[in-house]
Structure 1
Amino acid sequence: MSPAQPAALPLLSLVVPVYYEEECIAQFIAETGAVLASLPLRHEYVFVDDGSTDQTVAIIKEHARTNPAIRLVELSYNHGKQAAVTAGIAHAKGDYLLYMDPDLQDPPTEIPHFVTELEKGYDLVFGIRREKMDGPLNKLMSSVFWGTLDRFTGLAIPKGLAVMRIFTRRFADQFLQYPEQNRFIEGIFMHIGLKRSTLLIEQRERFAGTSKFNFSRKMNLAFDAIFDFSEKPLKAAVKFGAFLSIAASIFLVGILLAKLFLIEFQAGWPSLIGAIVLGTGIQLFFVGIVAIYIGRIYRETKRRPLFSVKEVTNGVSAPVLH
């Protein structure tokens, strides 16, 4: 009888979307490599380039020539971060998957703490920043972004959420069952449920460059989340419509009583035109809300692929997700 073979060590996949990160990527690989070498785990990198035209791809490919653990998935054009993250998860093979950005604001030295927390029996561990290392304007924009989400979606996303998080293969497989085109990663993560925890981490200054996730993109993402995970805009339209109907009825009754009691008054053209314009504007606004929902339904019914892959270095392309 042959001796029992030792069980293979778990595989940790680092899922890293990149977009114009030529100033950070070499340092990111160096720092994460030093940390990963100290862990009792096998590891792989899954970089997903979202249409960069600088030296980001060239730098990753140069490292991949001497390190087979580095895989690069190049998307054929800029799909947006939500699709890039999805592509990374689809291509990752790990038993554990750790998603982080390459800017090193969430430091690689926290990776062992995430692994330890996950191995307590959780399916997902969110990183929570003790303090956001950003300027006052960025902090204000983030506050508006998360406040908008909390107010209109009811997702109960943890406060101070970092990009860095770790999850199990079971959780990743559940995530890949969500095929929607209009993607909000945090919302999908919360919707999956399973057993989750949080881990406080120390954030540091961005290593180099500037964030590509500006206020406009944040608010677009917030509106995506609202329309994907909440019916509150539609309910607000119904409530406001009911309020206007009641107010108009009271107004008409008031006019009728005024006429009955022979009160002399004459409405002018400006007030009449103003009321018509206001009413038309309100109608168009709420019809627009309904149109947004219908448009999103239209996009979903096309069932187009979530991402288009141009090339994969040190690996093969994952099945297309619809």
Structure 2
Amino acid sequence: MLSVIIPIFNEEDNLPEFIPELNEAVAHLSNSYELLAVNDGSTDKSQTVLTKLEKRYRNLKVFTLRKNFGKSVAYLVGFTKATGDIIVTIDSDGQDKPQEIGKLLGQLKKGYQVVVGWRKNRSDTFLKKLSSLVWNKLLYLFSGIKLHDVNCGLKVFKKEVLNPRYFLGEFHRYLPVTIAMDGYRVTEIEVEHRSRLKGSSKYNYYRIFPAIFDFFTNMFLARFGLKPMHLFGSIGILIFTAGLLINFYLLIVKISGSSIGGRPLLILGLLFTLAGLQLIFTGFLGDLIIRREEISVEHYLSGSA
């Protein structure tokens, strides 16, 4: 079964045109499908429009959030409610053409578990194109996963690869990268991109700053989420060793008869030693917490996906 998730925020003008277009496109791809519209606390008449459309299309299911929680929560609700084994995400502004979904589904047959759309010729402003280019380059630099358009709204997933931790904060922005770092097969394919059907973009550049913090959190969880001692312990040992060397040097100076009481190096040596020990114990506590958590073996198996 095919489940299509549509996060929605203040798209009352686009929905009457976009939902019928999406329904027709998906109906040509599968006899068994569902459209999951997640209204993320819209303050316009999106809910009224969705209620009317839900009565018209039997495959459309509407879920309404009590306020605007953000796209990650909207995705999480959609993924949780989806009953299909293949999940499609698409934005409700109409910029991604529903007719392109078939291209992405075709890549799943080649053994991939996640397929991302690549808006090679974007119908967006220069600033959005530039920020996207820089962001994708940074993601590649830090993660080693090369994708041209990580945050494209049009994606296809096999449901078994999805994990609730992928939707913390603004982690939806890095979803394909995070999944790839977990060992799943991810690819991309060029898709057609067009201007918004109606209305204006809800994109806010201030979101870049929280996204940066989430990015580093995401990288940490992906690389050290199950082995925090590897990070904290390694840094801690380096700092602790530096502290010991400083203290050993001061000890030699003291034995030679010189005074060390007023030297800033003494304070630095003590600080390094204590900070190093603190980091090592932080890693140790992190490992203890991880060991107490129930780890599912299925997370590591490739299965038949």
**TM above 0.5:** yes
CA contact (8 A) 1:149 1:222 kept: no
CA contact (8 A) 2:10 2:42 kept: yes
Residue identity (%): 22
1:136 pairs with one of 127, 137, 152? 127
Deviations 1:220-269 (A, max 9, x none): 4324423432218653432332222222222223323334445577736x
2:201 pairs with one of 202, 209, 212? 209
Residue 61 of structure 1 deviates from its aligned partner by 1.3
Residue 188 of structure 1 deviates from its aligned partner by 6.3
Q: Does residue 229 in structure 1 map to residue 222 in structure 2?
A: yes
Higher helix proportion: 2
Q: Does residue 106 in structure 1 map to residue 92 in structure 2?
A: no
* Cα separation, 1, equivalents of 2:284 and 2:41: 31
Residue 17 of structure 1 deviates from its aligned partner by 1.8
The secondary structure found in structure 2 opposite 1:47 is strand
Q: Which one-letter code corresponds to 1:41 in the other structure?
A: S
**1:1-322 matched pairs, under 5 angstroms:** 12-33=2-23, 35-36=25-26, 39-42=28-31, 43-94=33-84, 96-119=86-109, 122-130=112-120, 133=124, 135-136=126-127, 139-140=130-131, 143-144=134-135, 147=138, 151=142, 156=145, 158-161=147-150, 162-167=152-157, 171-172=158-159, 174-175=160-161, 178=163, 180=165, 183=168, 184=171, 185-186=175-176, 189-190=179-180, 197-207=187-197, 208-211=200-203, 214-231=207-224, 234-262=229-257, 267=262, 271=264, 275=268, 286=279
Identify the range of structure 1 (249-258 vs 114-123) with the bigger mean alpha-carbon deviation: 114-123
- TM-score for both structures, normalised by structure 1: 0.65
Aligned residues: 280
CA contact (8 A) 1:45 1:70 kept: yes
CA contact (8 A) 2:178 2:218 kept: no
| Aligned match of 1:4 | none
Q: 5+ residue gaps in structure 1?
A: 1-10, 302-322
Residue 89 of structure 1 deviates from its aligned partner by 2.8
* Cα separation, 2, equivalents of 1:245 and 1:284: 6
Deviations 1:93-144 (A, max 9, x none): 4464321122334333422322444455654322233256454377447745
| Aligned match of 2:302 | none
| Aligned match of 1:320 | none
Deviations 1:185-226 (A, max 9, x none): 446643776665431224345552222682134234324423
CA contact (8 A) 2:243 2:269 kept: no
* Cα separation, 2, equivalents of 1:273 and 1:261: 16
* Cα separation, 2, equivalents of 1:236 and 1:209: 40
- TM-score for both structures, normalised by structure 2: 0.68
Residue 88 of structure 1 deviates from its aligned partner by 1.6
Residue 47 of structure 1 deviates from its aligned partner by 0.6
CA RMSD, Structure 1 to Structure 2 (Å): 4.4
CA contact (8 A) 2:87 2:156 kept: yes
* Cα separation, 2, equivalents of 1:191 and 1:163: 20
Residue 72 of structure 1 deviates from its aligned partner by 0.4
